[in-house]
Amino acid sequence: MLNNRRNFVFRVSIVINIAVLLYAAMHLSSNSTTGVDWVPMTVDGSERSAEFRYLNREEMRNYTDTRPPDSSVRILEESTSQKTPSTMPTTNKTASSTASLPDLEKKLTGLADAETSNVTVLEIDDEDALNPMTLAYLRTLLQCNDKDMPAQTLQRGEYWVLKNFVRADHGFIQCHESITYTTHAGFEFLDNVQPLVERWMAPVSLAIHAPGADMAPTVNSIRYLRDCLGNDLIKQFVTFHVFFSHKHVPSSIPNPDTFLQTPYNCTVKPPYDVNANSTYMKAKSLLYPVNVARNVAREAAVTHFILPSDIELYPSPNLVPRFLNMIARNAKPLSTSSKPRVFPISIFEVGAKVQVPSTKTELQAMLKNKTAIPFHKFVCPNCHNIPQGQQWINSSETSQMDVFHVGKRRGKFVHWEPIFIGTHQDPYYDERLSWEGKQDKMTQGYILCVKDYDFMILNNAFLIHKPGIKHYVKNTKRDTLASRQSLYIKNIIMPQLKTLFGKRNGCAL
Ligand SMILES: *[C@@H]1O[C@H](CO)[C@@H](O)[C@H](O)[C@H]1NC(C)=O
Ligand SMILES: *[C@@H]1O[C@H](CO)[C@@H](O)[C@H](O)[C@H]1NC(C)=O
Ligand SMILES: *[C@@H]1O[C@H](CO)[C@@H](O)[C@H](O)[C@H]1NC(C)=O
Ligand SMILES: *[C@@H]1O[C@H](CO)[C@@H](O)[C@H](O)[C@H]1NC(C)=O
Ligand SMILES: *[C@@H]1O[C@H](CO)[C@@H](O)[C@H](O)[C@H]1NC(C)=O
Ligand SMILES: *[C@@H]1O[C@H](CO)[C@@H](O)[C@H](O)[C@H]1NC(C)=O
Ligand SMILES: *[C@@H]1O[C@H](CO)[C@@H](O)[C@H](O)[C@H]1NC(C)=O
């Protein structure tokens, strides 16, 4: 038994050493840093921290990978082609991202005895950073494919999509090293971008619906966000896509290669600061194609993990490194469940005038004095009930991210519309549904249920809605659209989903 265990540690340690070698080689080959001392490898793992000293000094990758000197927006293709090294581990994309990690580990080590797979081989000193060892381990575990970010003009149903219209300056990002927040909006919601990015501090893929005359203020808003907010975070992290119906093509499409050359005149008020009733979309009574927007933003993300969310939901700080450290640690239930999984994040609202909480402890104090409440408590109290929601609120913040509870979208939670960290393997959103018609994420929820997804709720992470507690307001026009869409889902979409994905007891829309 003990022998077995030693043996396992030994083999895992070899695998990791190899992964690290490859990782190091990749970086050294693409970046001829001078003065790197090569420290000999050891195989028993005991000297691991010494092995990494040179990496820590010279190559410590600031996972945001900012590249100031050559950070002009159009530089990505070149840097990618240089950086796709032949030393990269060959990945056969057969391993589903949602496969349980011990399966991958077994594949790697040839070890059949899963009992021993909870041996901790990672040393994580700082949950808020990703050390080279963790990154190397993630790369091996996730087996994801790196992607390029070319600017493209594409058609998608009745929509034209300007994908990667204005790209973030973060340079080439490997698929395992960060998480992309994917989201969407009309330009009148872009005031949310700054608070969102300040808390996320990682890539954001943002699809903007800009039909007809909404194109000009959209472009001005992008320029204002990049040039006028006093820091470079939006430039660094946010990639903007623009889309519109072929029935509402803007009269002209400004060329980013040109308009990004000139700094924006920041003395004007923010172009997104308008009466929401004044947009072209409202003037023409267009519906908001929320699921086209969600899918455009999601598809363009270059990381393995994604957080598809609404732009008014601000994440708790340090979510990205803490989550990836949890994945790398691979403790239970991550290591024991073989079901596909997503990672829901609890959502709250706070009063209009209060400070958005940064830690769970702060949030708990605000829940106690009622300056924070569970999301949509006054709009639709049961829509966002989450399994063990009250226990989540009661339980104290811990030192590292873990899975709090594994729930299912069944029983009391059969209509649950969670916001979660997932991957590109998860089902897309039905593009026939509009935001005004409501229930726009239900079809995805149904598919997740039929596929028996585990909903691994995260313990310390949370999302806070843009400050201002919402109350129910009757909207007759929207109610009409909602009942029409509801019938459409029931009579047209549901039978199709049953044919395509099958049925499962307890699953409903
Ligand atoms: C990441 O890199 C940026 C720019 O190179 C630098 O300003 C920042 O301090 C770095 N962050 C860390 C955590 O090293
Ligand atoms: C990769 O996939 C090909 C075809 O699917 C298969 O023949 C080959 O054995 C796989 N290689 C590895 C290393 O799994
Ligand atoms: C796995 O972890 C559990 C609890 O953390 C521990 O009791 C058990 O001994 C570990 N198994 C092995 C083989 O290390
Ligand atoms: C910026 O706009 C203001 C107000 O419209 C104007 O007075 C100023 O001259 C402009 N600055 C530049 C550099 O164009
Ligand atoms: C927008 O229009 C609606 C309906 O015409 C009206 O109730 C609402 O107050 C308007 N909103 C603003 C910000 O003017
Ligand atoms: C509620 O609690 C938060 C966090 O402790 C505190 O900052 C805030 O001032 C409190 N507000 C009221 C009205 O008591
Ligand atoms: C949460 O805590 C409160 C007060 O400590 C307690 O009354 C309640 O039973 C707890 N609820 C759950 C579900 O643990």
Give CA–CA dist 222/243, Å, rounded: 14
**Residue at 327: amino acid letter:** I
| DSSP conformation class of 144 | P
Give CA–CA dist 387/384, Å, rounded: 10
DSSP-based three-state secondary structure for 313: strand
Residue 248 burial (10 A CB sphere; 0-12, 13-18, 19+):
buried
Q: How far is CA 467 from CA 348, 455, 464, 482, in A?
A: 10, 27, 8, 26
Residue nearest (by alpha carbon) to ligand 5 atom 8:
277
Residue nearest (by alpha carbon) to ligand 5 atom 6:
277
Q: How far is CA 63 from CA 60, 67, 301, 338, in A?
A: 9, 11, 16, 29
**Residue 509 has which token pair?**
């829309």
Binding site membership of 275 for ligand 5 (Cβ less than 6 Å): yes
Q: What is the CA radius of gyration of the chain?
A: 23
Query: From ligand 4's centre to the CA of 15, what distance in Å?
Result: 60
Angle at alpha carbon of residue 335, lines to 331 and 341, rounded to 5°: 110
Q: How far is CA 223 from CA 72, 259, 330, 441, in A?
A: 14, 8, 41, 31
Residue nearest (by alpha carbon) to ligand 1 atom 9:
62
Contacts of 275 (CB under 8 A, 6+ apart): none
- Walking along the chain (509 residues) 10 residues at a time, the average pLDDT comes out as 55 59 55 36 33 31 35 34 34 39 48 45 88 94 95 97 97 96 98 97 98 98 97 97 98 97 96 96 97 98 98 97 96 92 96 94 96 85 80 96 95 89 97 93 94 96 93 90 95 96 92
Q: What is the DSSP string of 61-126?
A: --TT----TT--GGGHHHHHHHHS-TTSPP--TTS-TTS-HHHHHHHHHT---GGGGG------S-
Query: From ligand 3's centre to the CA of 115, what distance in Å?
Result: 8
pLDDT for 90: 37
Give CA–CA dist 20/26, Å, rounded: 10
Cβ atoms of 144 and 175 closer than 8 Å? yes
Binding site membership of 69 for ligand 1 (Cβ less than 6 Å): no
pLDDT for 206: 98
Which ligand 3 atom sits nearest the alpha carbon of residue 119? 14
pLDDT for 222: 98
Location of structure tokens 């990004």: 260
Which ligand 4 atom sits nearest the alpha carbon of residue 265? 1
C-alpha 149, offset from chain centre: 16
pLDDT for 417: 87
Q: Where are the domains of the chain?
A: 2-142, 152-290, 339-501
Which ligand 1 atom sits nearest the alpha carbon of residue 64? 1
Residue nearest (by alpha carbon) to ligand 7 atom 7:
394
Model pTM score: 0.76
pLDDT for 444: 95
